[in-house]
Structure 1
């Protein structure tokens, strides 16, 4: 009888210790992930079609910081682009875009606020996730749903995504003239790199 009690006590002690260690491990393992985007390693390309040809250009990433709760998918942060940084290789066209369409002096930044991430990013693998958020441009907020391809290698995360900006429908000036008609939607392609913490 005494041996049975001793064995039971030992088993109970082991079980208690296991639960305690597991609880401590869960508390020491944070679920929050922080992404610091690298402007120098990020490319933002845009494409606008007109009746004669297709115009292509770039914008510069000013800064990008995003936090993600991996358990809930809730995200926060800001990814900021300088609207005056748009370049297409034509100075006069870029000047009109900044001053007349984007009104960069009044609205110097376009900002994406991530709010939720659906999907899992795993080290050493390429995954597709959905990022939901709000895109603020030209003084107005617009919901944005991004299909993002991610590849994680250690603490480095590379991402690719594309989305459309219907700039005329969003209240920006249509630069079309009687002679030259341009598209009313700009396609944006982003290749970004971030450090994970």
Structure 2
């Protein structure tokens, strides 16, 4: 009986090893399927537009709540549907010739990521805009269906407070903060 108990103690960790291993996963972000939209309020009307996700990969362990990786957005891809406004946004506000990328690097998260279905977590990380890093915590809704994963969040960027130029002119006033909606789509794989 003692040898059976010793054997069981040896075999149980091996039996559960695949489960623990599966908790450590990588989300390879499909840039073309992912989307960044923005809304900037103004005295006349709200301006809506998009940016292009350039690249991204998120490595996370649902057992230890460790997270790393990055999401990179092309600053020069901003499109509001108005060429003159977009040129001003890219040149005067974002200064894309010097700061071509906007990025978010996750550092920790709170909450639980379910192996399938829906989860809501809080991710804390560094949001770099105009070459300057800012601490940011965002709520993220995660949906896992097999190896397919989507992650969605909404947050506000106080761009003027963070040192970017206010594009308001004379009677045309715009908000000092911009609403961002990020929808990431990707493929999950076990991380090694």
* Short-chain TM bin: over 0.9
- Higher alpha-carbon Rg: 1
Aligned to 1:190: 182
TM-score (norm 2): 0.93
Distance 2:118 2:177 in 1: 30
If asked which structure has higher relative contact order (CA below 8 Å, sep 6+), I would say: 2
Aligned partner of residue 161 in structure 1, secondary structure? strand
TM-score (norm 1): 0.90
Aligned to 1:19: 9
Residues 115-124 or 155-164, more deviating: 115-124
Aligned partner of residue 124 in structure 2, secondary structure? strand
Alignment of 1:125-144 (within 5 A): 125-144=117-136
Aligned residues, how many? Answer: 187
Q: Return 5+ residue gaps in structure 1 as ranges.
A: 1-10
Distance 1:159 1:35 in 2: 10
Runs of 4+ in structure 1 over 4 Å off: none
1:32 equivalenced with 2:24 (yes/no)? yes
Q: Which residue of 163, 176, 182 maps to 1:171?
A: 163
Aligned to 2:110: 118
Distance 1:69 1:153 in 2: 17
Distance 1:26 1:125 in 2: 22
Residues 107-116 or 67-76, more deviating: 67-76
